[in-house]
């Protein structure tokens, strides 16, 4: 690349574009409205972006909300289940990303359903208060994802038939590795 080219590239340096969307995407807004109409203050719509909606619920209500999302909004499978550790809040968040194969209108949509479990400073996975109801009976596809979440963050899923280790060695005796207080050596 010649000098002039590289100089040109420097000129096209982009700035952070912060766009506030006043009129939210219509289809996604309808989806989130259906959830708020049904559940009211039990759910909190965290954001509505193009093709993405996020719903926060308490762990007591997640089974009810998930069944509604499956039966009424026609989401039929989970794409991923992510556990996120928030040590300052003393909570662990679990986010389900749900998608749909059967409803062609939902091809672009991913609905995030998030809930939080209490976090203990000295974890004892499976035997402490870090527990959530399993969504395996509602979305069958979460089976392996929830197993991964259990070993990586120590969130026990009640009602899951197979809460065994999946990726970690059977004799792993340290903290669940994706918690923030588990540090990589030398870093």
Partner 1 sequence: MTAKLPPGLQLEKEDDKIMTLNVGPQHPGSGHMRLIIKVDGDFIVSCDPDPGYVHRGEEKMAEYRNYITNIPHLERPVIHDSCNILYPYVLGVEELLGLEVPERAKYIRVIAAELNRIVYTLYWLGIYGIFLGHSTMFMWPMGDRELAIDLLEKLTGARVTHSYFVPGGIRNDAPANFEDVCIRQVNYLEKRLRTYGDIFYDNPILIARTENTGILTREDAIRLGTTGTVLRASGVDFDIRTKEPYDVYDELDVHTNVLKNGDSYDRSKTPWLDMLESCNIIRQALEKMPKSGSVRVKLKPNPKGGDDEVYKRVESGRGSLGTYIVSRSKPEPYRLKMSVGSFRNLICLPYLLKGEKLGNMPAVYWSLNYWPVEADR
Binding site for partner 1 (CB under 8 A): 1, 8-10, 12-19, 51-52, 54, 76-80, 82, 84-85, 95, 97, 101-102, 107-108, 110, 112, 126, 139-145, 148, 164-170, 177-178, 182, 184, 187
CB of 108 to partner 1, least distance (A): 4
Between 24 and 178, CB nearer to partner 1: 178
Between 24 and 84, CB nearer to partner 1: 84
Give the gyration radius of the chain's Cα atoms. 20
CB of 30 to partner 1, least distance (A): 18
Exposure pattern of 13-52 as b/e (b: 16+ CB <10 Å)?
A: eeeeeeeeeeeeeeebeebbeebeeebeeebebeebeeee
N residues, the chain: 187
Between 27 and 38, CB nearer to partner 1: 27
CB of 6 to partner 1, least distance (A): 9
Q: Which residues contact 180 (CB under 8 A, 6 or more apart)?
A: 85, 87
Distance of CA 174 to the CA centre of its chain: 24
Give the C-alpha separation, 81 to 101, whole Å: 18
CB of 112 to partner 1, least distance (A): 7
Give backbone dihedrals phi and psi of 39, rounded to 5 degrees, phi first: -110, -15
Between 60 and 167, CB nearer to partner 1: 167
CB of 85 to partner 1, least distance (A): 8
Give the C-alpha separation, 35 to 72, whole Å: 10
Between 107 and 159, CB nearer to partner 1: 107
Give the C-alpha separation, 80 to 58, whole Å: 19
Between 41 and 102, CB nearer to partner 1: 102
Are residues 100 and 76 in contact, defined by beta-carbon separation less than 8 angstroms?
A: yes
CB of 84 to partner 1, least distance (A): 5
């Amino acid at each position: 690349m010649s000098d002039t080219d590289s100089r040109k590239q420097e000129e096209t340096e982009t700035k952070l574009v912060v766009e506030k969307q006043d009129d939210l995407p219509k289809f996604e807004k309808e989806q989130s409205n259906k959830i708020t109409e049904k559940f009211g203050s039990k759910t909190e719509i965290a954001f509505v972006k193009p093709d993405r909606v996020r719903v926060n619920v308490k762990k007591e209500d997640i089974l009810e909300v998930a069944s509604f999302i499956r039966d009424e909004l026609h989401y039929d499978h989970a794409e991923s289940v992510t556990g996120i550790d928030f040590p300052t809040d003393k909570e662990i968040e679990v986010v389900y990303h749900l998608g749909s194969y059967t409803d062609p209108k939902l091809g672009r949509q991913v609905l995030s359903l998030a809930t939080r479990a209490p976090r203990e400073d000295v974890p004892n996975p499976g035997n402490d208060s870090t527990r959530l109801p399993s969504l395996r009976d509602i979305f069958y596809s979460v089976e392996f994802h929830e197993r991964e979440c259990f070993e990586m963050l120590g969130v026990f899923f009640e009602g899951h038939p197979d809460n065994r280790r999946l990726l970690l060695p059977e004799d792993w005796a340290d903290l669940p590795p994706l918690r923030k207080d588990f540090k990589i050596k030398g870093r």
